[in-house]
Amino acid sequence: MEVRDWIILALIILFSLIYWYRGRSRRIAGEKPAKTNAKVRVMLEEAGYEIVKAKPTVKVRMDIDDKQHPFELKSDYLVTKNGRKYLVRIRRDGKQARFQSKMWRSSLIRDVLAFQTAGILILNTEKETLHQIRFRI
């Protein structure tokens, strides 16, 4: 192969990766960040996060015996920081949470995998706390 063949191959691979990445991020629907709660927006921006989407949703299709069962997974916000995407859940109760409990773990890892993010942020507006949770598989 000549040098120009390698260049053409590299360009094809680059465009394929860009197409794949853009298609992956487009499957998350949501509202524009301008419609967000002011207190939440301030807390996230002070922590260095940029709101990408409010109320992000991912459409999921489950097949059982060749029968389709579509549903949607929803969250509160999708944010970015240092080139990484994070999902945000807002805690609406004042209770102390044990995020390592079985119920929370299952729910959080499901959302991280479905939305394909680097982690999840739990934001408590009453106590003004922000917890970052990441999984390593």
**Model pLDDT for residues 90-125, shown as the tens digit of each residue:** 887 666 667 777 777 888 888 888 888 989 998 888
The segments of the chain whose pLDDT lies below 50 read none
Q: CA nearest 56: which of 75, 34, 84, 79? A: 75
Q: What pLDDT score does 26 carry? A: 56
- Answer whether 0.85 is exceeded by the pTM: no
Q: How far apart are CA 3 and CA 18, in angstroms?
A: 23
Element (H, E) at 74: strand 67-74
CB 77 within 8 A of CB 44: yes
Torsional sign, CA 42, 48, 53, 55 = negative
